[in-house]
Protein backbone atom coordinates (compact mmCIF):
# COMPACT_ATOMS: atom_id res chain seq x y z
CA UNK A 1 0.00 0.00 0.00
CA UNK A 2 1.53 3.26 -1.06
CA UNK A 3 1.23 6.50 0.76
CA UNK A 4 0.92 9.81 -1.06
CA UNK A 5 2.49 12.69 0.80
CA UNK A 6 1.14 16.11 -0.12
CA UNK A 7 3.43 18.97 0.77
CA UNK A 8 1.82 22.10 2.05
CA UNK A 9 2.53 25.01 -0.23
CA UNK A 10 2.00 28.71 0.18
CA UNK A 11 -0.19 30.05 -2.62
CA UNK A 12 1.63 32.46 -4.82
CA UNK A 13 0.24 35.93 -4.35
CA UNK A 14 -0.73 37.59 -7.60
CA UNK A 15 1.51 40.56 -8.34
CA UNK A 16 0.12 44.00 -7.72
CA UNK A 17 0.43 46.82 -10.21
CA UNK A 18 0.96 50.36 -8.97
CA UNK A 19 1.06 53.57 -11.00
CA UNK A 20 3.01 56.68 -10.09
CA UNK A 21 2.07 59.76 -12.07
CA UNK A 22 -1.47 60.83 -12.98
CA UNK A 23 -0.74 63.45 -15.62
CA UNK A 24 -1.10 63.10 -19.37
CA UNK A 25 0.83 59.81 -19.65
CA UNK A 26 -0.64 58.36 -16.45
CA UNK A 27 -4.15 59.17 -17.63
CA UNK A 28 -3.48 57.52 -20.99
CA UNK A 29 -2.08 54.50 -19.13
CA UNK A 30 -5.30 54.11 -17.11
CA UNK A 31 -7.46 54.46 -20.24
CA UNK A 32 -5.46 51.82 -22.12
CA UNK A 33 -5.34 49.55 -19.07
CA UNK A 34 -9.13 49.56 -18.91
CA UNK A 35 -9.41 48.78 -22.63
CA UNK A 36 -7.09 45.80 -22.21
CA UNK A 37 -9.16 44.61 -19.25
CA UNK A 38 -12.30 44.79 -21.38
CA UNK A 39 -10.56 42.55 -23.92
CA UNK A 40 -9.79 40.04 -21.14
CA UNK A 41 -6.04 40.37 -21.55
CA UNK A 42 -4.08 39.10 -18.52
CA UNK A 43 -3.08 42.44 -17.03
CA UNK A 44 -2.22 42.47 -13.30
CA UNK A 45 -4.66 44.12 -10.95
CA UNK A 46 -4.05 47.86 -10.68
CA UNK A 47 -3.96 48.10 -6.88
CA UNK A 48 -3.33 51.81 -6.45
CA UNK A 49 -2.19 54.95 -8.19
CA UNK A 50 -0.57 58.04 -6.79
CA UNK A 51 0.84 61.46 -7.52
CA UNK A 52 2.73 63.91 -5.34
CA UNK A 53 -0.52 64.87 -3.55
CA UNK A 54 -2.45 61.65 -2.91
CA UNK A 55 -2.59 57.87 -3.12
CA UNK A 56 -5.85 56.12 -4.03
CA UNK A 57 -6.75 52.44 -4.09
CA UNK A 58 -8.25 51.46 -7.43
CA UNK A 59 -10.34 48.35 -6.88
CA UNK A 60 -12.61 48.22 -9.91
CA UNK A 61 -12.70 51.99 -10.29
CA UNK A 62 -9.35 53.04 -11.72
CA UNK A 63 -10.79 56.05 -13.51
CA UNK A 64 -12.43 57.33 -10.34
CA UNK A 65 -9.17 56.86 -8.44
CA UNK A 66 -7.37 58.83 -11.17
CA UNK A 67 -9.91 61.65 -10.99
CA UNK A 68 -9.70 61.77 -7.19
CA UNK A 69 -5.89 61.88 -7.26
CA UNK A 70 -5.88 64.71 -9.78
CA UNK A 71 -8.36 66.72 -7.70
CA UNK A 72 -6.48 66.25 -4.43
CA UNK A 73 -5.18 69.32 -2.64
CA UNK A 74 -1.45 69.93 -2.19
CA UNK A 75 -0.12 68.29 0.95
CA UNK A 76 2.56 68.97 3.52
CA UNK A 77 5.20 66.48 4.55
CA UNK A 78 8.64 65.33 3.55
CA UNK A 79 7.62 61.99 2.06
CA UNK A 80 5.23 61.66 -0.88
CA UNK A 81 2.04 59.68 -0.17
CA UNK A 82 3.15 56.67 -2.19
CA UNK A 83 6.24 56.30 0.02
CA UNK A 84 4.00 56.19 3.08
CA UNK A 85 1.37 53.99 1.49
CA UNK A 86 1.01 50.27 0.93
CA UNK A 87 4.45 48.70 0.53
CA UNK A 88 5.48 47.06 -2.72
CA UNK A 89 6.77 43.52 -2.42
CA UNK A 90 8.93 41.23 -4.55
CA UNK A 91 7.08 40.35 -7.74
CA UNK A 92 4.94 43.48 -7.77
CA UNK A 93 5.23 45.94 -10.65
CA UNK A 94 5.51 49.69 -10.23
CA UNK A 95 5.00 51.97 -13.23
CA UNK A 96 6.77 55.32 -13.19
CA UNK A 97 4.84 57.65 -15.50
CA UNK A 98 6.45 60.75 -13.99
CA UNK A 99 9.37 62.92 -15.00
CA UNK A 100 10.45 63.16 -11.37
CA UNK A 101 14.04 63.02 -10.24
CA UNK A 102 12.99 61.92 -6.74
CA UNK A 103 10.93 59.03 -8.13
CA UNK A 104 13.86 57.95 -10.32
CA UNK A 105 15.92 57.76 -7.12
CA UNK A 106 13.67 54.90 -5.97
CA UNK A 107 14.21 52.69 -9.03
CA UNK A 108 17.30 50.91 -7.68
CA UNK A 109 15.68 50.51 -4.25
CA UNK A 110 12.57 48.85 -5.70
CA UNK A 111 14.64 46.58 -7.92
CA UNK A 112 16.83 45.53 -5.00
CA UNK A 113 13.65 44.37 -3.21
CA UNK A 114 12.60 42.31 -6.22
CA UNK A 115 9.97 44.82 -7.37
CA UNK A 116 9.79 45.11 -11.16
CA UNK A 117 10.00 48.66 -12.49
CA UNK A 118 8.41 49.87 -15.73
CA UNK A 119 9.22 53.45 -16.61
CA UNK A 120 8.81 56.31 -19.02
CA UNK A 121 10.95 58.44 -16.70
CA UNK A 122 14.28 59.02 -18.45
CA UNK A 123 16.02 60.22 -15.29
CA UNK A 124 16.56 56.67 -14.06
CA UNK A 125 18.99 55.40 -16.69
CA UNK A 126 19.34 58.67 -18.60
CA UNK A 127 20.35 60.84 -15.67
CA UNK A 128 23.38 60.66 -13.42
CA UNK A 129 25.69 57.77 -14.30
CA UNK A 130 26.00 56.47 -10.70
CA UNK A 131 22.21 56.14 -10.53
CA UNK A 132 22.09 54.28 -13.85
CA UNK A 133 24.84 51.95 -12.65
CA UNK A 134 22.99 51.34 -9.36
CA UNK A 135 19.89 50.38 -11.33
CA UNK A 136 21.94 47.95 -13.41
CA UNK A 137 23.45 46.33 -10.31
CA UNK A 138 20.11 46.06 -8.52
CA UNK A 139 18.37 44.38 -11.42
CA UNK A 140 21.28 41.95 -11.87
CA UNK A 141 21.42 41.06 -8.16
CA UNK A 142 17.67 40.61 -7.61
CA UNK A 143 16.55 39.34 -11.00
CA UNK A 144 13.79 41.94 -11.09
CA UNK A 145 12.91 43.30 -14.51
CA UNK A 146 13.36 46.89 -15.66
CA UNK A 147 11.02 47.84 -18.49
CA UNK A 148 12.41 50.96 -20.14
CA UNK A 149 11.08 50.76 -23.70
CA UNK A 150 9.04 53.94 -23.17
CA UNK A 151 12.10 56.04 -22.31
CA UNK A 152 13.37 56.28 -25.90
CA UNK A 153 11.22 56.17 -29.00
CA UNK A 154 7.97 55.64 -27.09
CA UNK A 155 8.23 51.87 -27.38
CA UNK A 156 9.83 51.55 -30.80
CA UNK A 157 12.07 48.43 -30.96
CA UNK A 158 15.11 50.64 -30.56
CA UNK A 159 16.63 49.77 -27.20
CA UNK A 160 15.71 46.13 -27.80
CA UNK A 161 17.48 46.12 -31.18
CA UNK A 162 20.57 47.85 -29.82
CA UNK A 163 20.86 45.45 -26.88
CA UNK A 164 20.32 42.44 -29.12
CA UNK A 165 23.19 43.54 -31.36
CA UNK A 166 25.50 44.02 -28.37
CA UNK A 167 24.46 40.68 -26.86
CA UNK A 168 25.26 39.01 -30.18
CA UNK A 169 28.81 40.36 -30.15
CA UNK A 170 28.25 43.19 -32.62
CA UNK A 171 30.35 46.29 -31.96
CA UNK A 172 28.44 49.54 -32.19
CA UNK A 173 30.37 52.15 -34.18
CA UNK A 174 27.93 55.05 -34.17
CA UNK A 175 24.32 55.85 -33.39
CA UNK A 176 22.61 58.99 -34.60
CA UNK A 177 19.02 59.95 -34.85
CA UNK A 178 16.01 62.18 -34.51
CA UNK A 179 15.19 61.26 -30.91
CA UNK A 180 12.56 63.87 -30.05
CA UNK A 181 9.06 63.46 -31.41
CA UNK A 182 8.28 67.09 -30.66
CA UNK A 183 11.36 68.40 -32.49
CA UNK A 184 10.72 65.97 -35.33
CA UNK A 185 7.23 67.41 -35.67
CA UNK A 186 8.56 70.97 -35.57
CA UNK A 187 11.14 70.49 -38.31
CA UNK A 188 8.86 68.33 -40.43
CA UNK A 189 6.37 71.23 -40.47
CA UNK A 190 8.51 74.35 -40.29
CA UNK A 191 8.62 75.90 -43.77
CA UNK A 192 10.74 79.01 -43.21
CA UNK A 193 7.85 81.27 -44.14
CA UNK A 194 5.59 81.14 -41.11
CA UNK A 195 7.05 82.01 -37.68
CA UNK A 196 8.80 79.19 -35.88
CA UNK A 197 7.24 80.38 -32.61
CA UNK A 198 3.79 79.61 -33.98
CA UNK A 199 4.79 76.02 -34.67
CA UNK A 200 6.18 75.70 -31.13
CA UNK A 201 2.88 76.85 -29.64
CA UNK A 202 0.96 74.52 -31.93
CA UNK A 203 3.14 71.57 -30.89
CA UNK A 204 2.65 72.41 -27.21
CA UNK A 205 -1.13 72.63 -27.62
CA UNK A 206 -1.13 69.23 -29.34
CA UNK A 207 0.76 67.74 -26.40
CA UNK A 208 3.92 66.97 -28.39
CA UNK A 209 6.22 69.13 -26.27
CA UNK A 210 6.64 69.24 -22.52
CA UNK A 211 4.46 71.84 -20.77
CA UNK A 212 7.61 73.97 -20.75
CA UNK A 213 8.85 73.53 -24.34
CA UNK A 214 12.34 74.65 -23.33
CA UNK A 215 13.00 71.10 -22.16
CA UNK A 216 12.57 70.06 -25.80
CA UNK A 217 14.11 73.09 -27.49
CA UNK A 218 17.15 73.09 -25.22
CA UNK A 219 18.10 69.57 -26.30
CA UNK A 220 18.05 68.32 -22.68
CA UNK A 221 15.41 65.69 -23.44
CA UNK A 222 17.46 64.45 -26.39
CA UNK A 223 20.61 64.35 -24.26
CA UNK A 224 18.89 62.05 -21.75
CA UNK A 225 17.75 59.73 -24.52
CA UNK A 226 21.20 59.73 -26.07
CA UNK A 227 22.72 58.75 -22.72
CA UNK A 228 20.26 55.84 -22.43
CA UNK A 229 21.22 54.59 -25.91
CA UNK A 230 24.95 55.03 -25.35
CA UNK A 231 24.82 53.18 -22.04
CA UNK A 232 22.82 50.37 -23.67
CA UNK A 233 25.60 50.16 -26.25
CA UNK A 234 28.17 49.77 -23.47
CA UNK A 235 29.52 53.34 -23.34
CA UNK A 236 29.40 54.78 -19.79
CA UNK A 237 28.74 58.35 -20.91
CA UNK A 238 28.05 61.09 -18.40
CA UNK A 239 25.81 64.06 -19.10
CA UNK A 240 28.77 66.43 -19.33
CA UNK A 241 30.30 64.23 -22.05
CA UNK A 242 27.52 65.29 -24.44
CA UNK A 243 27.91 68.64 -26.21
CA UNK A 244 24.50 70.26 -26.52
CA UNK A 245 23.70 73.16 -28.86
CA UNK A 246 20.47 74.56 -27.45
CA UNK A 247 17.87 76.36 -29.55
CA UNK A 248 17.08 78.52 -26.51
CA UNK A 249 19.35 81.55 -25.98
CA UNK A 250 20.65 81.96 -22.43
CA UNK A 251 18.59 85.11 -21.80
CA UNK A 252 15.37 83.22 -22.60
CA UNK A 253 16.33 80.13 -20.60
CA UNK A 254 16.16 82.10 -17.32
CA UNK A 255 12.67 83.54 -17.87
CA UNK A 256 9.47 82.38 -16.21
CA UNK A 257 7.30 80.19 -18.44
CA UNK A 258 4.77 82.97 -19.26
CA UNK A 259 7.62 85.38 -20.01
CA UNK A 260 9.32 82.78 -22.20
CA UNK A 261 6.10 82.23 -24.15
CA UNK A 262 5.85 85.96 -24.76
CA UNK A 263 9.50 86.01 -25.90
CA UNK A 264 9.19 83.00 -28.24
CA UNK A 265 9.18 85.23 -31.38
CA UNK A 266 12.84 86.02 -30.60
CA UNK A 267 13.60 82.57 -32.07
CA UNK A 268 11.93 83.32 -35.40
CA UNK A 269 14.73 85.24 -37.15
CA UNK A 270 17.42 82.77 -36.08
CA UNK A 271 15.49 79.73 -37.30
CA UNK A 272 14.45 81.46 -40.52
CA UNK A 273 18.11 82.13 -41.32
CA UNK A 274 19.06 78.50 -40.57
CA UNK A 275 16.20 77.26 -42.76
CA UNK A 276 17.13 79.49 -45.72
CA UNK A 277 20.77 78.44 -45.59
CA UNK A 278 19.82 74.76 -45.55
CA UNK A 279 17.31 75.24 -48.37
CA UNK A 280 19.89 76.97 -50.58
CA UNK A 281 22.22 73.99 -50.06
CA UNK A 282 19.54 71.43 -50.88
CA UNK A 283 19.36 70.24 -47.27
CA UNK A 284 16.80 69.85 -44.50
CA UNK A 285 17.01 70.81 -40.86
CA UNK A 286 16.93 67.95 -38.36
CA UNK A 287 17.58 68.05 -34.62
CA UNK A 288 19.92 65.12 -33.96
CA UNK A 289 21.56 63.24 -31.16
CA UNK A 290 24.76 61.40 -32.06
CA UNK A 291 27.45 59.36 -30.33
CA UNK A 292 30.44 57.24 -31.26
CA UNK A 293 33.43 56.07 -29.24
CA UNK A 294 35.05 59.52 -29.29
CA UNK A 295 32.33 62.13 -28.93
CA UNK A 296 28.64 62.75 -28.35
CA UNK A 297 26.57 65.71 -29.43
CA UNK A 298 23.05 67.09 -29.64
CA UNK A 299 21.93 69.91 -31.91
CA UNK A 300 20.35 71.19 -35.11
CA UNK A 301 21.98 70.03 -38.34
CA UNK A 302 21.38 70.52 -42.06
CA UNK A 303 21.31 67.11 -43.75
CA UNK A 304 21.41 66.28 -47.46
CA UNK A 305 18.11 65.00 -48.80
CA UNK A 306 19.44 61.48 -49.33
CA UNK A 307 20.62 61.16 -45.73
CA UNK A 308 19.04 58.19 -43.87
CA UNK A 309 17.61 60.56 -41.25
CA UNK A 310 15.84 62.91 -43.63
CA UNK A 311 12.84 60.64 -44.08
CA UNK A 312 9.85 60.23 -41.84
CA UNK A 313 7.05 62.60 -40.99
CA UNK A 314 4.89 63.81 -38.14
CA UNK A 315 6.42 62.94 -34.78
CA UNK A 316 8.50 60.09 -36.18
CA UNK A 317 11.73 59.18 -34.45
CA UNK A 318 14.29 57.91 -36.93
CA UNK A 319 17.51 56.35 -35.64
CA UNK A 320 20.45 54.92 -37.58
CA UNK A 321 22.70 52.28 -35.98
CA UNK A 322 26.13 51.67 -37.53
CA UNK A 323 28.02 48.58 -36.37
CA UNK A 324 30.26 45.74 -37.56
CA UNK A 325 27.15 44.21 -39.08
CA UNK A 326 25.90 47.48 -40.54
CA UNK A 327 29.09 49.45 -41.37
CA UNK A 328 27.93 51.48 -44.39
CA UNK A 329 24.17 51.09 -44.71
CA UNK A 330 22.82 51.47 -41.17
CA UNK A 331 20.01 49.68 -39.45
CA UNK A 332 17.25 52.31 -39.31
CA UNK A 333 14.43 52.19 -36.78
CA UNK A 334 11.54 54.56 -37.44
CA UNK A 335 8.12 55.27 -36.02
CA UNK A 336 6.03 57.66 -33.91
CA UNK A 337 8.11 58.93 -31.01
CA UNK A 338 5.77 61.28 -29.15
CA UNK A 339 2.32 61.23 -27.66
CA UNK A 340 0.75 59.97 -24.48
CA UNK A 341 -1.05 57.09 -26.17
CA UNK A 342 2.03 55.47 -27.72
CA UNK A 343 3.97 56.00 -24.49
CA UNK A 344 1.20 54.38 -22.45
CA UNK A 345 1.12 51.48 -24.89
CA UNK A 346 4.86 50.98 -24.46
CA UNK A 347 4.48 50.96 -20.67
CA UNK A 348 1.72 48.37 -20.80
CA UNK A 349 3.68 46.23 -23.27
CA UNK A 350 6.44 46.01 -20.68
CA UNK A 351 3.93 45.27 -17.91
CA UNK A 352 2.40 42.42 -19.92
CA UNK A 353 5.83 41.00 -20.77
CA UNK A 354 6.83 40.97 -17.09
CA UNK A 355 3.51 39.49 -15.97
CA UNK A 356 3.81 36.69 -18.55
CA UNK A 357 7.38 35.76 -17.59
β-strand partners of 54: none
Residue 16 annotated to the active site: no
* Secondary structure element (H or E) that encloses residue 56, with its range: strand 55-57
Q: Which of 16, 122, 225, 276 is catalytic?
A: 225
3-state SS of 129-181 is HHHHHHHHHHHHHHCCCEECHHHCHHHCCCHHHHHHHHHCCCCEEEEEEECCH
Contact 43, 351 (CB under 8 A): yes
Contact between residue 166 and residue 234 where contact means Cβ atoms under 8 Å apart: yes
Distance CA 240, CA 298 (A): 12
CA 294 – CA 288 distance, rounded (Å): 17
Say which residues have a Cβ less than 8 Å from residue 189's Cβ, sequence separation at least 6. Answer: 199
CB-CB contact of 158 with 332 (8 Å): no
Which residues are identified as catalytic? 225
Amino acid sequence: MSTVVRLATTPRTAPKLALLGTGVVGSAFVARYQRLQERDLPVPTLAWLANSRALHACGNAAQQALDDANQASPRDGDLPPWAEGEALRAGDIVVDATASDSVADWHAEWLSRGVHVVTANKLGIGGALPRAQAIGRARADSGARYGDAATVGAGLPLLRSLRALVAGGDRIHRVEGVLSGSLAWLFNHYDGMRPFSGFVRQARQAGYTEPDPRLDLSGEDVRRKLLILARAAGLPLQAEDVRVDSLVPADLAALSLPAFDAALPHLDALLAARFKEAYRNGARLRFLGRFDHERASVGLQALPLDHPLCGGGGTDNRVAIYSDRYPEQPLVVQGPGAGAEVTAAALLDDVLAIAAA
